[in-house]
Structure 1
């Protein structure tokens, strides 16, 4: 299976980087093909500019014109997403949501003509990518219960429900590691072992 990982964390020694390593090792053990999109290293521009919005608006009715408006980096990401069979996001939760680069990736890549199209009536999204599933792995320092009760699992609603459920992608999973900063070294090592084992499987 070809797996695209969208990674976002600017600090190379972060726990998210350790997660990325564990996920990658697990996937390779199961003979999956891994394609890493490292938004920070790529210096991805997350800002939705006028030409990007025009591409979004024309994506469904005029894909060729929309494609011309995309910058080279977005075109590259588009081609890689279209070849993916599973999509994995890895990022920290900051102020209850995703960092700017991840949000920009959603804004610029998850739009008509790439990730979905509309039905003939224009009132329902239909998935376009050949994805068997989407997995989101996040870290945060907020207690899990507090994040669920007070903030309503905001990132889950924004990404897996508000984005991928809306488009019709059924296999959606969220692995959320909370209180990471205060977790013991033993706990952190256990998480990494569990994550590596989870992705060392044929079916994700």
Structure 2
């Protein structure tokens, strides 16, 4: 049975290294037999502001409904995006704010501080690009962006982060370095297609 993969490019621009990495991952995964769905943030039109928090529900725009359906359908999620100001782009965060709601991503217990992780059983890979060197990011900021997406977003909802790739610095990268990153994304796509996401 083929692995179901949902690729989400979280870069708000139409073209980017994130898109190139996604292309490589997708092509390799599909060639290896995976079933792939993909969405690009730049094609999504929606209001990113969760104005009332959880006190009042806003009607989800069609693209957000499709995004949620794809997430539920998938066994493995792949998110690709640039690190901006120690986190993900604002529009990308808007999708999570609007979509990862109680009753979908988690269910809070009436008594006590605990919750049920409603997206359990899925795994995820993260591909982040940055202009800061990865070593500098680790020592100066303690991988804040990595911790945000792995711990406070994915794991909170029950998704198991499997691998986070951070490529940088992008602004000074030579073509050979970028090609090496593209090859790593393709290799990961092939590997995910061939292995159980429940492992």
Normalising by the smaller structure, the TM-score range is 0.7 to 0.9
2:122 to 132, 143, 167: 132
Structure 2 gaps of 5+ residues are: none
SS at match of 1:46: coil
| Cα separation, 1, equivalents of 2:47 and 2:80 | 18
Deviation at 1:74, TM superposition (A): 2.4
Say if 1:125 and 1:168, in contact at 8 Å, map to a contact too: no
CA offsets per residue over residues 91-116 of structure 1, 9 Å max, x none? 11112211112111111112211112
TM-score (norm 2): 0.86
Name the structure 1 match of 2:9. 7
2:132 to 142, 167, 180: 142
Say if 1:83 and 1:130, in contact at 8 Å, map to a contact too: no
Q: CA RMSD in A?
A: 2.1
Name the structure 2 match of 1:61. none
For the pair 1:46 / 2:48, whether they are aligned, the reply is yes
Say if 2:10 and 2:41, in contact at 8 Å, map to a contact too: yes
1:169 to 129, 136, 159: 159
Structure 1 gaps of 5+ residues are: 59-65
Name the structure 1 match of 2:85. 95
Name the structure 1 match of 2:183. 193
2:65 to 57, 72, 75: 75
| Cα separation, 2, equivalents of 1:29 and 1:119 | 43
| Cα separation, 2, equivalents of 1:170 and 1:77 | 18
Over 6 Å off, 4+ runs: none
Q: How does 1:14-25 map to 2 (within 5 A)?
A: 14-25=16-27
| Cα separation, 2, equivalents of 1:142 and 1:4 | 28
| Cα separation, 2, equivalents of 1:5 and 1:174 | 14
Alignment length (residue pairs): 192
For the pair 1:153 / 2:123, whether they are aligned, the reply is no
Name the structure 2 match of 1:27. 29
SS at match of 1:36: strand
| Cα separation, 2, equivalents of 1:77 and 1:197 | 25
Could you say if the C-alpha distance between residues 131 and 45 of structure 1 is closer, same or farther in structure 2, counting changes exceeding 3 Å? farther
| Cα separation, 2, equivalents of 1:171 and 1:14 | 23
